[in-house]
Amino acid sequence: MAQIKGEIIQIIGPVIDVSFEKYGDALYQAKLLDLDDKKKFNTSGNMITLFGFVHLRGIWEKDVGQYEKIEQIGFPSGACLFTSRDTLDKVGSFDEDYFAYHEDASLAWRAALLGINSYYVPKAIVCHKSGYIFKKNARKVHLLQRNRWYNLLTHYSKKTYFRILPGLILVEIMIFLYYLSTGMGKGMILAYRDIIKNRKILKEKYQKLQNSRKISDKDLISNFMYIPTFQTSSQIFHQAFFDKVAHAVEKFTLHFL
């Protein structure tokens, strides 16, 4: 990201001074409504699950006042994010090795490891064009899955990673088979290729993050991670069966942490 000057950093978003004064060092997101239907949400704050899946809270819901409180979220959407320069200096900016997806999740996850939370501020309203980068194809699958694994391989400690690995492998097999059946298996293969190709860079990032972290994975999972219910729909799976099984495996895996 190009060098930015100023005390408050905005990523396509407004400055909300009252929230900054109340919560101090943090990342903030406005209420994001869909540009094509401004009565519906794009997101009221994003959440991350144990296996690194991303959920857009309230997506496609009609805005009837159900998300009108300032509250802590997993991470703010990169479509509308603001913070202080001091916070960004501590956390760092978006990781340039990511593209299109999950770089905002990585930013907030890195912040959470330092004890810096993320908040949703509904009085600020921004309209966002949903899904304009890529339609659902192998290229999108490639970037989504690669970047999700970048987060998992660098943000968790090795102890946590190996404890969740059995469940993670099971869900990964399900994802691969699902995309293979829909003609998008190439995206998964490309994601794995990039992970292997960039393993030295990922190792360096892992060591840097683990050396600077202040929050344990146990506390992070309790306060930062989102454990979806069976009724919650996922961005990754469109079929209810895959959705329910993946979430069930995540919930079961929590017993080993």
pLDDT recorded at residue 135: 66
Of the candidate ranges 22-31, 93-102, 122-131, 222-231, the one whose mean pLDDT is the lowest: 222-231
Helix axes 138-155, 158-181, angle to 10 degrees: 170
Specify the higher pLDDT residue, 124 or 11.
124
H/E run at residue 54: strand 54-56
Q: Is 60 helix (H, G, I), strand (E, B) or coil?
A: coil
pLDDT recorded at residue 230: 41
What is the phi/psi pair of residue 245, to 5°?
-65, -45
pLDDT band at 128 (very low <50, low <70, confident <90, very high): confident
pLDDT digits (tens, 9 = 90+) for 56-87: 888 889 999 999 999 999 999 888 888 888 89
Q: What is the pTM of this model?
A: 0.86
Q: Is 115 helix (H, G, I), strand (E, B) or coil?
A: coil
Looking at residue 75, the DSSP 8-state letter turns out to be B
pLDDT band at 164 (very low <50, low <70, confident <90, very high): very high
Looking at residue 137, the DSSP 8-state letter turns out to be S
Of 99, 220, 106, the closest CA to residue 159 belongs to: 220
Spell out the SS3 assignment of 23-44: HCCEEEEEEEEECCEEEEEEEC
Q: Is 122 helix (H, G, I), strand (E, B) or coil?
A: strand
pLDDT band at 15 (very low <50, low <70, confident <90, very high): very low
Spatial separation of the C-alpha atoms in residues 157 and 119, rounded to whole Å: 25
Specify the higher pLDDT residue, 17 or 61.
61
Spatial separation of the C-alpha atoms in residues 156 and 109, rounded to whole Å: 10
Highest mean pLDDT among 84-88, 134-138, 154-158: 154-158
The domain ranges of the chain are: 8-128, 138-256
CATH of domain 8-128: 3.90.550.10
- Provide the mean pLDDT of the chain: 84
Contacts of 52 (CB under 8 A, 6+ apart): 102, 105, 148, 149, 151, 152
Distance spanning both ends of the chain, measured CA to CA: 36
- With a pLDDT cut of 90, the percent of the chain lying above it is 51
Spatial separation of the C-alpha atoms in residues 8 and 21, rounded to whole Å: 12
Pairing of strands 37-43, 26-34: antiparallel
Listed in order, strand segments (DSSP E) in 85-183 are 117-128
pLDDT recorded at residue 20: 59
Residue labelled with tokens 């219910």: 229
Please give the structure tokens belonging to residue 46.
């994003």
pLDDT recorded at residue 63: 94
92: burial class by Cβ within 10 Å (0-12, 13-18, 19+)? middle
pLDDT digits (tens, 9 = 90+) for 188-247: 999 999 999 999 999 999 999 999 999 999 999 887 777 655 444 444 445 567 777 888
pLDDT band at 14 (very low <50, low <70, confident <90, very high): very low
